[in-house]
C-alpha cells in the first residue's frame, strides 16, 4: 500500500458523499472550476424548489381580490400551469400564514355540505405580497436577461 492510498480513499469517499448530498447533480461530470451539470429529472427538482419558494405569495395573490375557502385555493392553483400542488401542502401553508398574521379566517355555512373556512389577506399580508412582487420582478428580469442574452463574440 502506498502513502497516497489513505488520501485517495478519503477523496473517493468524499466524492460519493458529495453525489448523495447533491441529488440531481453529477459532481464527477463537471470540469474543474465549473458547476456540475443537472442530470435528467433535475429540472423537476428545480421547479419544485421554485414553486416552494413562491407558493405562499401565490396564495396571497389569490386572496388579494377577495376571500376564498381552502379547497377553492387548491383548485385554482391546480388550474395554473406549473403550480401543481395538493391539499396536503396548502392547508399547512394556510395555517402558517394565519399564525404569521398574513391571513385571517372565518367560518361560513355552505349550501353543499359542512361549513367552510374562508381565508382573507390582512394588511400585513398585502405588504408582504407587495415586497415579494417587487423582488420577484427584479429577480425574474435578471434571470431572463442572463438566459436570453446573446453570446459574446
Angle (CA) 14 17 22, round 5°:
120
Domains of the chain: 55-148 (1.10.10.10)
15-32 pLDDT, tens digit per residue, is 444 433 333 434 444 455
Specify the pLDDT at position 60: 98
CB atoms within 10 A of CB 110: 10
Query: 36: helix, coil or strand?
Result: coil
Q: From CA 105, how far away is CA 119, in angstroms rounded?
A: 5
Residue 39 has, within 13 A of its CA and on its CB side, a CA count of 9
Q: From CA 16, how far away is CA 100, in angstroms rounded?
A: 41
Specify the pLDDT at position 49: 85
CB atoms within 10 A of CB 24: 15
Please give the grid coordinates belonging to residue 19: 453525489
- Residue written as grid cell 361560513: 108
82-132 pLDDT, tens digit per residue, is 787 888 899 999 999 999 999 999 999 989 889 999 999 999 999 999 999
Please give the grid coordinates belonging to residue 21: 448530498
pTM, 2 dp: 0.68
CB 120 within 8 A of CB 95: no
Amino acid at each position: 500500500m502506498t502513502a497516497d492510498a489513505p488520501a485517495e480513499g478519503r477523496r473517493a469517499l468524499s466524492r460519493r458523499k458529495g453525489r448523495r448530498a447533491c441529488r440531481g447533480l453529477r459532481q464527477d461530470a463537471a470540469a474543474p472550476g465549473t458547476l456540475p451539470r443537472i442530470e435528467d429529472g433535475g429540472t423537476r427538482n428545480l421547479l419544485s424548489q421554485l414553486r416552494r419558494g413562491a407558493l405562499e405569495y401565490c396564495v396571497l395573490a389569490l386572496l388579494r381580490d377577495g376571500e376564498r375557502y381552502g379547497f377553492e385555493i387548491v383548485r385554482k392553483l391546480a388550474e395554473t400551469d406549473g403550480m401543481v400542488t395538493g391539499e396536503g401542502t396548502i392547508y399547512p401553508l394556510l395555517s402558517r400564514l394565519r399564525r404569521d398574521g398574513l391571513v385571517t379566517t372565518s367560518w361560513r355555512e355552505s349550501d353543499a355540505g359542512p361549513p367552510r373556512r374562508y381565508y382573507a389577506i390582512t394588511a400585513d399580508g398585502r405588504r408582504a405580497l407587495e415586497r415579494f412582487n417587487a423582488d420577484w420582478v427584479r429577480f425574474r428580469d435578471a434571470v431572463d436577461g442572463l438566459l436570453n442574452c446573446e453570446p459574446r463574440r
